[in-house]
């Protein structure tokens, strides 16, 4: 397998580095030959430099005509006075605009199952169990500068399943796309979907918004009882461990491990983030009350009426991930306005704009620009809505989300200003490795051949990191 | 024969019969009075101990008594001159549903499942009674207790060289406990070679209830294995010292999982796609259990994972390119048709070359049908050989590797003294399309093989019918 990566390195050297290369298609494609070893994503060199580019850091303003030095997949230096060491692979960024890799806070693009809709509480199910890596939409999203994606459970259940945060390492197996170190989360949902408005035959509880609140409280109270059982056991076990072997009886028997309740306990312990599918202001207020009662900070997704309660959200430390301009597609989406994102941001809420769609995920930068167009958000605020704010919301801002020294080199390089209508992504890097290059991008047809015929490479080969 | 499934009520009787069989078949050779055979002058491919160009196999009461170039036929043997013919071990297919009720879609199918009652009260979960069984979600389903295999079923397999099959339901997430069945006409549970062989597991949902999605299936399995671990611990402690300990309720489903979590019995997980294979092996790691991947038709995409796993059971029910990971997407419409045909051919080579790719990677495996009809099974084995699988490896995969995977390699899978006499008499190369299978020995019973064209009226009957002793 090492030979593969030798080949990748070679491909990188000849094709991937220069943005000005006139080569429209890779050699293998032109000849029609299938080269199963020529993955579209060459291995990262240990030193990569993006030079003379306009850098939008998302955290500390823009640096015009600056250089980013990437060492072993991490951002090592940024500025206008960076010396490029000999041997570095140089990406000429002249005339280009560089942003952090875009983060989609709400996606269902890389999974074989979306809803375990047979029950109202399915905290035990995990998106990471059903990840799939071969969807062509993932590559299209890379071509839109997207690097990190929050794969969420669907919204069929009051308490849905556990999320999976992935990086779009397209071409690698499912077990190498997970975002190592991302905090676990879970999807909750409110409103029409969970009360089965569209299914008159449904016999599932709850059928009303009051029922949703009741089910939430009942579930958390059940989890608290479960936790008390375990606490009692742990105390008894510790005492038993200390007791002299002769006088102590049999060891206490642990309670049943309940994966559903484990996840709910983790939420109350602050170890698992809640992503709450929400529309109406009244039920968002309910969710804020429930969150407070059980001691966790909620993140809301959709939250189309967030502008009505921006102050309450900010006071609760809740984050909000919304659509740029989607409304009216169901009754509870009736009061949505395209100013929502900017208005919430203005009142101090951490706001992101997500896709919830394979299509919009290819052009989140245009969605962010709408926050400027409609709500008057600043350029940096709009950019943060698809980068740093999403990283903060998902608890991965120490690792990605902005162009800062020490962070993963997840970077999108645009042909022009990212919010200009004609700009396109030229290069997308994840961990310093080029996963998309418009100059050498295979046609879809050729790419799919590679997907089909190349041998499998697993994470042990080191390709992913 | 598939219309009257066994009901739970009759199971204790069947279980009793089974217990007697398991003891009887092993220790009392007088149970299987199939006479004595000396098969002489045959080319003998023992599979495990090389090939004897001209030798003799002696069979006594269903067991191989002697194998060798200079074995003298015993005085009481019927001598068969096999000059010009080859003896190989009969094949073993580890992916069969012979003798089971036909699977039906939805709940309550197959005559075993219970249909959850329509809830009487709005908002209440459906009530189920203890009698009701949910198809595909019954780890404690003992296949040996409900086998209903006809002589036609047995002959159809046998006529393609299959001497034994492992029977388990083909769908569901916890399918039951399989039985390895010899392909003799009078196969009843009393002749089962081994039961239970494995707990059979898959990724199909249970329609209309939890788990209704792949997400729930995997979560359900994970929870079940945690529960089984705890159940095993609690029950063991109770057995060790019951005094003063509150009892735990009997739970047949968890009892069925206990040997698996203790590492005493493998779980056969039906996993074909790349990601299914990885999920199955992740479960093995998570619970430190023995997992045999069954299917692995995309094994060529999961070589590294399979290298460190137990030898898989690789099936030859080849998927179409459109069913294969990385190929599903609907781009064919944009291709020019000639190009598309060339690519389909390339895909087919890859798919049929699965076993060859695994072999090249040094992975040992059994070959199995994946539920294909017996004739198609052998046809596809030949395709796998044509795609680069060495013929010798294919023969091993159909015999000794399959026996190993089922844990019966002491009894089956090669021509060795002491093993069960499951043999094929073949004219020509045994795995070639031109081979003529003339005769099959199952448990030492000799069956003629009837060519399909002349198949009416005769054949399929043992020429040395066993002297059954009905108790």
pLDDT tens-digit readout, B176-212:
999 999 999 886 667 999 999 999 999 999 877 899 9
Both A281 and A416 in one domain: the answer is no
State the average pLDDT over residues A241-251: 91
pLDDT band at A445 (very low <50, low <70, confident <90, very high): low
Alpha-carbon distance of B49 to B55, in angstroms, equals: 13
E strand map for B215-318: 267-271, 291-295, 313-315
The better pLDDT of the pair A14, B401 is held by B401
* A14/chain B closest Cα distance in angstroms: 27
Interface contact B210-A114, CB threshold 8 A: no
Report pLDDT digits (tens) over A306-323: 999 999 999 999 999 999
Q: Check residue A462 and give its pLDDT.
A: 36
C-alpha closest to that of A230 among A249, A250, A248, A256 = A256
Task: Give me the residue from A115, A122, A250 closest to B237, CB to CB.
Answer: A250
Both A217 and A159 in one domain: the answer is yes
Contacts of B212 in chain A (CB under 8 A): 116-118
Residue B453 has pLDDT above 60, yes or no: no
C-alpha closest to that of B299 among B283, B319, B277 = B277
DSSP for B233-256 reads HHHHHHHH--TT-------HHHHH
The better pLDDT of the pair B139, B123 is held by B139
Conformation bin of residue A419: beta by default, left when phi > 0, alpha when psi is -120 to 50: alpha
State the average pLDDT over residues A52-61: 98
Residue A23 has pLDDT above 80, yes or no: no
State the average pLDDT over residues A231-259: 94
Residue B26 has pLDDT above 70, yes or no: no
Residue A262 has pLDDT above 60, yes or no: yes
Residue B459 has pLDDT above 60, yes or no: no
Beta bridge partners, B182, equal: B164
**Which of the residues B214, B219, B353 would you substitute to probe the A interface, choosing the one with the greatest number of A C-beta atoms within 10 Å?**
B219
Residue A135 has pLDDT above 50, yes or no: yes
Task: Give me the residue from B223, B321, B329 closest to A259, CB to CB.
Answer: B223
Interface contact B331-A131, CB threshold 8 A: no
Alpha-carbon distance of A77 to A408, in angstroms, equals: 12
Q: Check residue B31 and give its pLDDT.
A: 53
Query: In this structure, which topology does domain B32-89+414-471 adopt according to CATH?
Result: Urease, subunit C; domain 1 (2.30.40)
Both A36 and A153 in one domain: the answer is no
Q: Check residue B466 and give its pLDDT.
A: 53
The better pLDDT of the pair B135, B381 is held by B381
Q: Check residue A21 and give its pLDDT.
A: 32
Interface contact B218-A125, CB threshold 8 A: yes
Backbone angles phi, psi at B270, to 5 degrees: -75, 110
Task: Give me the residue from B208, B219, B325 closest to A134, CB to CB.
Answer: B325
Query: CA quadruple A334, A338, A343, A348: dihedral positive or negative?
Result: positive
Alpha-carbon distance of A135 to A147, in angstroms, equals: 15
Task: Give me the residue from B216, B278, B324 closest to A118, CB to CB.
Answer: B216
Percent of chain B with pLDDT over 70: 77
- How big is the CA angle at B305 (ends A128 and A33), to the nearest 5 degrees? 95
**Nearest Cα residue in chain A from B273:** A132
Both A422 and A438 in one domain: the answer is yes
User: By the CB < 8 Å criterion, does B350 face chain A?
Assistant: yes
pLDDT band at A137 (very low <50, low <70, confident <90, very high): confident
The better pLDDT of the pair B14, A98 is held by A98
pLDDT band at B303 (very low <50, low <70, confident <90, very high): very high
Task: Give me the residue from B215, B234, B303 closest to A113, CB to CB.
Answer: B215
Q: Which of A23-27, B82-86, B98-102, B152-156 has the highest mean pLDDT?
A: B82-86
* A330/chain B closest Cα distance in angstroms: 25
State the average pLDDT over residues B277-294: 98
Report pLDDT digits (tens) over B251-285: 999 999 999 999 999 999 999 999 999 999 999 99
* A177/chain B closest Cα distance in angstroms: 13
User: By the CB < 8 Å criterion, does B349 face chain A?
Assistant: no
Among A29-38, B115-124, B212-221, which stretch is predicted with the lowest mean pLDDT? A29-38
Both A108 and A202 in one domain: the answer is yes
Report pLDDT digits (tens) over A319-355: 999 999 999 999 999 999 999 999 999 999 999 999 9
**Which of the residues A29, A114, A118 would you substitute to probe the B interface, choosing the one with the greatest number of B C-beta atoms within 10 Å?**
A118
Torsion of CA B429, B432, B438, B444, to 10 degrees: 80
Report pLDDT digits (tens) over B147-178: 888 899 999 999 999 999 999 999 999 999 99
Interface contact B218-A129, CB threshold 8 A: yes
* A226/chain B closest Cα distance in angstroms: 15
Q: Check residue B463 and give its pLDDT.
A: 63
Residue B131 has pLDDT above 70, yes or no: no
Beta bridge partners, A62, equal: A56
Interface contact A456-B274, CB threshold 8 A: yes
C-alpha closest to that of B352 among B401, B309, B298, B430 = B298
The better pLDDT of the pair A376, A20 is held by A376
Domain termination site, one of A393, A420, A442: A393
- A83 token code pair: 């010396």
Q: Check residue B337 and give its pLDDT.
A: 46
**Which of the residues B213, B273, B357 would you substitute to probe the A interface, choosing the one with the greatest number of A C-beta atoms within 10 Å?**
B213
CA distances A235 to A52, A287, B339, Å, are 61, 33, 69
Residue A128 has pLDDT above 50, yes or no: yes
B91-107+133-412 placed in CATH 3.20.20.140: yes
Contacts of B321 in chain A (CB under 8 A): 452
Query: 10 Å Cβ neighbour count for A367?
Result: 24
Q: Check residue A454 and give its pLDDT.
A: 55
**B247: Cβ–Cβ under 8 A, 6 or more apart, which residues?**
B238
Q: DSSP assignment, residue A12?
A: I
Both A181 and A111 in one domain: the answer is yes
Both A94 and A107 in one domain: the answer is no
Q: Check residue A198 and give its pLDDT.
A: 80
Interface contact B275-A117, CB threshold 8 A: no
ipTM entry = 0.88
State the average pLDDT over residues A290-298: 98
Contacts of B329 in chain A (CB under 8 A): 135-136, 448
Residue A464 has pLDDT above 90, yes or no: no
State the average pLDDT over residues B7-16: 37
State the average pLDDT over residues A94-111: 97
Q: Quick one: how far is CA A50 from the chain centroid?
A: 24
Interface contact A449-B343, CB threshold 8 A: yes
Interface contact B304-A205, CB threshold 8 A: no
Contacts of B279 in chain A (CB under 8 A): 129
Report pLDDT digits (tens) over B235-244: 999 999 898 8
Q: Check residue A444 and give its pLDDT.
A: 60
Both A84 and A143 in one domain: the answer is no
Q: Check residue B464 and give its pLDDT.
A: 61
Q: Is the peptide bond before A206 cis (omega within 30 degrees of 0)?
A: yes
Q: Which of A34-48, A148-162, A430-444 has the highest mean pLDDT?
A: A148-162
State the average pLDDT over residues B221-232: 97
**Nearest Cα residue in chain B from A250:** B237
CB-neighbour burial class of residue A114 (10 A; exposed 0-12, middle 13-18, buried 19+): buried
Both A44 and A146 in one domain: the answer is no
Both A380 and A412 in one domain: the answer is no
Query: 10 Å Cβ neighbour count for B117?
Result: 11
Alpha-carbon distance of B451 to B438, in angstroms, equals: 9
User: By the CB < 8 Å criterion, does B251 face chain A?
Assistant: no
Percent of chain B with pLDDT over 90: 66
Report pLDDT digits (tens) over A168-226: 998 787 888 999 999 999 999 999 999 988 888 888 999 999 999 999 999 999 999 99
Which residues span the domain enclosing A357? 103-223+254-393
Percent of chain A with pLDDT over 90: 77
Q: Check residue B271 and give its pLDDT.
A: 98
Both A335 and A218 in one domain: the answer is yes
Q: Check residue A407 and give its pLDDT.
A: 98
Interface contact B219-A116, CB threshold 8 A: yes
Query: 10 Å Cβ neighbour count for A113?
Result: 25
Q: Quick one: how far is CA B393 from the chain centroid?
A: 19
Parallel, antiparallel, or unpaired for β B63-68 and A411-414? unpaired
Both A307 and A365 in one domain: the answer is yes
Going from N- to C-terminal start, the domains of chain B cover: 32-89+414-471, 91-107+133-412
C-alpha closest to that of A179 among A205, A134, A147 = A147
CA distances B368 to A56, B91, B348, Å, are 58, 9, 19
Average pLDDT of the residues of chain B: 83
pLDDT band at A244 (very low <50, low <70, confident <90, very high): very high
Alpha-carbon distance of B85 to B42, in angstroms, equals: 6
Alpha helices in B126-213 (DSSP H): 151-158
Domain termination site, one of A354, A375, A393: A393
8 A C-beta contact, residue A158 and residue A172: no
Alpha-carbon distance of B93 to A127, in angstroms, equals: 35
Q: Check residue A200 and give its pLDDT.
A: 82
Task: Give me the residue from A124, A132, A173 closest to B223, CB to CB.
Answer: A124
Task: Give me the residue from A127, A134, A257 closest to B230, CB to CB.
Answer: A257
Q: Check residue A280 and give its pLDDT.
A: 97
Q: Indicate the number of domains in chain A.
A: 2
**A288: Cβ–Cβ under 8 A, 6 or more apart, which residues?**
A298, A312, A313, A316, A318
- The label of the residue with tokens 């240990």 reads A46
Q: DSSP assignment, residue A305?
A: T
CATH number at residue A210: 3.20.20.140
Domain termination site, one of A333, A362, A393: A393
Interface of B with A in 54-93 (CB under 8 A): none
């Amino acid at each position: 397998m090492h030979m593969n990566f030798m080949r990748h390195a070679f491909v990188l050297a000849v094709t991937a580095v220069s943005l000005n290369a006139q080569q429209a298609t890779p050699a293998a494609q032109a000849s029609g030959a299938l080269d199963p070893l020529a993955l579209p994503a060459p291995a990262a060199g240990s030193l990569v430099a993006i030079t003379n580019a306009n850098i939008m850091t998302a955290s500390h303003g823009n640096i015009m005509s600056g250089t980013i030095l990437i060492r072993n997949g991490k951002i090592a230096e940024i500025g206008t006075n960076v010396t490029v060491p000999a041997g570095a692979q140089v990406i000429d960024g002249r005339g280009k605009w560089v942003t952090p890799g875009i983060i989609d806070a709400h996606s269902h693009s890389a999974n074989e199952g979306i809803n375990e809709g047979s029950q109202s509480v399915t905290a035990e199910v995990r998106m990471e169990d059903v990840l799939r890596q071969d969807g062509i939409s993932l590559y299209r999203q890379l071509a839109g500068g997207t690097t990190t994606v929050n794969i969420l459970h669907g919204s069929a259940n009051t308490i849905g399943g556990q999320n999976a945060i992935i990086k779009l390492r397209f071409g690698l197996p499912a077990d190498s796309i997970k975002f190592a170190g991302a905090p676990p989360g879970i999807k909750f949902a409110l409103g029409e979907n969970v009360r089965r408005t569209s299914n008159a035959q449904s016999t599932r509880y709850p059928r009303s918004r009051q029922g949703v609140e009741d089910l939430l409280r009942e579930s958390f109270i059940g989890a608290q009882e479960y936790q008390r059982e375990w606490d009692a056991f742990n105390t008894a076990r510790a005492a038993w461990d200390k007791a002299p072997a002769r006088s102590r009886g049999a060891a206490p028997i642990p309670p049943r491990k309940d994966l559903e309740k484990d996840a709910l306990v983790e939420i109350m312990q602050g170890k698992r983030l809640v992503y709450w599918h929400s529309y109406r202001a009244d039920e968002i207020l309910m969710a804020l009350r429930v969150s407070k009662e059980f001691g966790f900070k909620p993140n809301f997704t959709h939250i189309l009426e967030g502008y009505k309660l921006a102050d309450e959200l900010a006071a609760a430390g809740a984050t909000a991930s919304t659509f740029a301009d989607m409304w009216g597609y169901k009754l509870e989406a009736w009061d949505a306005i395209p100013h929502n994102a900017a208005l919430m941001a203005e009142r101090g809420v951490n706001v992101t704009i997500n896709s919830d769609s394979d299509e919009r995920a290819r052009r989140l930068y245009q969605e962010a620009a709408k926050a400027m167009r409609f709500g008057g958000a600043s350029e940096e605020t709009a950019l943060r809505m698809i980068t740093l704010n999403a990283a903060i919301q998902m608890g991965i801002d120490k690792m990605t989300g902005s162009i800062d020294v020490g962070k993963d080199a997840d970077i999108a390089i645009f042909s022009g200003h990212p919010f200009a209508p004609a700009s396109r992504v030229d290069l997308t890097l994840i961990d310093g490795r080029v996963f998309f290059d418009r100059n050498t991008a295979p046609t879809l047809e050729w790419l799919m051949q590679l997907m089909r015929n190349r041998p499998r490479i697993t994470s042990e080969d080191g390709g992913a990191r | 024969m598939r219309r009257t499934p066994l009901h739970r009520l009759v199971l204790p009787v069947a279980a009793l019969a089974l217990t007697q069989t398991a003891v009887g078949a092993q220790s009392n050779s007088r149970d299987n009075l199939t006479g004595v055979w000396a098969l002489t002058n045959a080319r003998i491919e023992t599979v495990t101990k090389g090939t004897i160009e001209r030798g003799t196999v002696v069979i006594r009461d269903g067991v191989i008594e002697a194998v060798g170039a200079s074995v003298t036929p015993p005085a009481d043997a019927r001598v068969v001159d096999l000059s010009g013919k080859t003896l190989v071990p009969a094949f073993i297919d580890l992916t069969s549903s012979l003798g089971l009720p036909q699977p039906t879609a939805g709940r309550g199918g197959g005559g075993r499942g219970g249909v959850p009652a329509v809830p009487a009260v709005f908002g209440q979960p459906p009530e189920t009674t203890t009698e009701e069984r949910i198809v595909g979600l019954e780890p404690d389903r003992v296949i040996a207790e409900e086998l209903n295999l006809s002589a036609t079923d047995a002959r159809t397999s046998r006529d393609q060289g299959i001497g034994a099959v492992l029977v388990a339901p083909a769908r569901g997430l916890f399918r039951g406990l399989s039985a390895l069945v010899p392909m003799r006409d009078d196969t009843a549970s009393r002749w089962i070679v081994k039961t239970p062989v494995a707990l059979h597991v898959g990724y199909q949902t249970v329609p209309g209830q939890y788990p209704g999605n792949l997400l729930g299936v995997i979560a359900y399995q994970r929870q079940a294995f945690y529960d089984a671990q705890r159940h095993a611990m609690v029950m063991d402690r109770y057995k060790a010292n019951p005094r003063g300990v509150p009892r735990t309720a009997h739970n047949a489903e968890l009892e069925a999982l206990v040997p698996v979590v203790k590492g005493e019995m493998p779980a056969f997980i039906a996993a074909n796609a790349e990601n299914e294979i990885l999920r199955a092996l992740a479960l093995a790691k998570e619970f430190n259990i023995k997992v045999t991947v069954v299917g692995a038709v995309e094994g060529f995409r999961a070589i590294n994972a399979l290298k460190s796993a137990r030898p898989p059971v690789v099936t030859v029910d080849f998927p179409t390119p459109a069913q294969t990971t990385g190929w599903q997407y609907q781009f064919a419409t944009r291709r020019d048709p000639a190009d598309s045909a060339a690519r389909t051919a390339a895909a087919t080579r890859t798919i049929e070359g699965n076993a060859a790719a695994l072999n090249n990677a040094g992975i040992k495996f059994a070959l199995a049908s994946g539920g294909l009809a017996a004739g198609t099974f052998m046809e596809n084995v030949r395709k796998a050989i044509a795609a680069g699988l060495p013929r010798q490896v294919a023969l091993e995969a159909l015999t000794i590797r399959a026996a190993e995977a089922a844990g019966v390699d002491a009894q089956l899978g090669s021509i060795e003294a002491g093993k069960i006499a499951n043999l094929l008499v073949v004219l020509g190369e045994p795995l070639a399309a031109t081979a003529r299978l003339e005769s099959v020995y199952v448990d030492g019973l000799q069956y003629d093989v009837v060519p399909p064209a002349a198949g009416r009226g005769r054949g399929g009957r043992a020429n040395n019918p066993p002297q059954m002793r009905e108790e």
